[in-house]
Amino acid sequence: MSPALARLARSSAVHMAFAFLAMGSWAVFANRGHAMPRPLLAGVVQGLLSACITLFLKRIVEWLTSRFSGLGALVLPPLIACLVSATLLSAIHAAAGTPEILATVALPLTVATSYAALYTYTLWSARP
């Protein structure tokens, strides 16, 4: 991998932009049956939420994993991340008037929770 490509791959801004576009697009698709601008608003809201989740999820999982021991360090960080993400996504979409909240948050929540679980396992299995 070239140094420029490696730098891009490590860039938080690139990861956040990808999350914004991917999950924002999903939200527009999930709300496509409703009159404009509701799908676009759902897309912007979800895009911003996904960008923020992308920025903070890694750090939060690392912090939570370091606070627990044993099996709790494996199970609790992704569970907490899932519950907090589900609560925030649902509440913010409800406040924004997103018509199809469940369909809108299903994919981003699944992706974020899967990432949290896999990353937690990586951290947990590397412990002495």
Q: What is the pLDDT of residues 20-37, one digit of tens each?
A: 999 999 999 999 999 999
Would you state the pLDDT for residue 121? Answer: 96
Mean pLDDT of the chain: 95
How far is C-alpha 64 from the geometric centre of its chain's CA atoms? Answer: 16
* Rounded percentage of the chain residues whose pLDDT exceeds 70: 100
Q: Is the pLDDT of residue 117 over 80?
A: yes
Show me where the domains of the chain are located. Answer: 3-125
Would you state the pLDDT for residue 7? Answer: 83
Q: Is 123 left (phi over 0), alpha (psi -120 to 50) or beta?
A: alpha
> Using one digit for the tens of pLDDT, what is the confidence trace for 48-81?
999 999 999 999 999 999 999 999 999 999 999 9
Q: Tokens at residue 86, please?
A: 């589900």
Would you state the pLDDT for residue 128? Answer: 82
> Which of 67, 70, 61 has the alpha carbon at shortest distance from 117?
61
> Using one digit for the tens of pLDDT, what is the confidence trace for 82-105?
999 999 999 999 999 999 999 999
Q: pTM (2 decimals)?
A: 0.90
pLDDT category, 107, cuts 50, 70, 90? Answer: very high
